[in-house]
Amino acid sequence: MALKYGKYTCTASKYSNGFYEYIPRGSFVLNKNGTYTYLGLEKPSQGKFTVDKKGNILFTGGYLDKGKAEKIDRPDKYFLVFPTIPDNRWTCTWVGK
């Protein structure tokens, strides 16, 4: 399955008192030229990305620097982890162009 360019929204999930709480964590936009923009801070943060053989997205530079969005078994969904992440991991879903 090919990578979809466009906007992905991200949420963190937190388990407390027997329930999951879902916390919006902004979004990122993947551009066909290999750049991305993270929208979730005061100012947009930009960097670059590549895709490995398994379809995982690898980020360089910007807010998601050294991050990896790992493809999961649901269409257009990824688990995202990066060094400065405030939560364990985020779930990111493609929402459109």
Q: Which domains does the chain have, with CATH numbers?
A: 6-96 (2.40.128)
Q: What is the pLDDT along the chain (97 residues), one digit of tens a residue?
A: 578 999 999 999 888 889 988 999 999 999 999 999 999 889 999 999 999 999 999 999 999 999 999 999 888 999 999 998 877 889 999 999 8
pTM for this model (two decimals): 0.89
Please report, for residues 19, 28, 54, the alpha-carbon distance to residue 81 in angstroms, rounded to integers and kept in the order given. 22, 13, 16
- DSSP per-residue letters across the chain: -PPPPEEEEEEEEEEETTEEEEEEEEEEEE-TTSEEEEESSSS-EEEEEEE-TTS-EEEESSTTTT-EEEE-SSTTEEEEE-TT-SSS-EEEEEEE-
Token pair 């998601």: residue? 64
